[in-house]
Homo-oligomer: A and B are copies of this chain.
């Protein structure tokens, strides 16, 4: 592996992933790829820029696919102003299967685009920060999803690209621990779905993030709400 594309949101998971891939690549060529798809927490893209620079990437593209918000209008609390981001505690068991913060088929779209870039720049691997979640879940962050995406890409007759998701069986606490070992500046990441500082501490990703830092015995510089 001497060249890779990392799908970088600027959140905790993909930021740690970026630095882990830099470690694995050594002096290899690292491309970071980010998307503005209409998310309310576009603040994370500023963090993506900072992390990409810190990791010494060869390129960092922030691609505007804000049409995606209109294409999937009315379906996600992450993109639709009329749908509030819920507190995790308010979600029913049925909602946790595919919560309001799920964005229709977003991850397949982003991975397909990352695979296209990887193919074009002769990178064999796309790195994807999907991680195991305890309390809620998305079908497009699972090991089965990654395996099936790879089954599609394996059909390419000349330059098959592979999606690597090294955190897919990690807890978020594992990712925090690894990030700390790698010296990742957690203050320059952003997770809160509500997108406005300070992090709300109650949305699904804030709750997970806080629990992860507690479990890792560390303090989250972004949010110290009990």
A-side interface residues toward B, CB under 8 Å?
Answer: 61, 63-65, 67-68, 71-75, 97-98, 104-106, 108-109, 112-113, 115-117, 119-120, 139-140, 142, 144-145, 148-149, 151-153, 155-159, 161
For A98, give its contact among B75, B112, B157 (CB under 8 Å): B157
Closest to A155 in B: B139
**Chain A interface, >50% SS class:** helix
Q: How many copies does the complex hold?
A: 2
Name 9 A/B residue pairs within 8 A (Cβ), A-sorted. Answer: A63-B71, A68-B116, A97-B158, A98-B158, A108-B153, A142-B155, A148-B148, A148-B152, A151-B151
CB of B109 within 8 A of CB of A113, answer: yes
- Please tell me which one of the listed residues B108, B148, B156, B161 contacts residue A112 in the complex, with CB atoms under 8 A apart: B108
Please, which residues of chain B bring their CB within 8 A of the CB of A98? 156-158
Are the C-beta atoms of A152 and B155 separated by less than 8 Å? no
> Interface centre among A106, A117, A120, A155, by most B CB within 10 Å?
A120
* Bound complex: CA A97 to CA B156 (Å): 10
Q: How far is the CA of A63 from the CA of B119 in the complex (A)?
A: 23
Q: Which residues of B contact A65 (CB under 8 A)?
A: 65, 67
In the assembled complex, the Cα of A72 lies from the Cα of B114 at a distance in Å of 10
Residue from the list B109, B120, B144, B161 in contact with A116, Cβ < 8 A:
B109
| Distance of A68 from chain B, by nearest CB (Å) | 7
The residues of B that contact A109 with a CB separation of less than 8 Å are 109, 112-113, 116
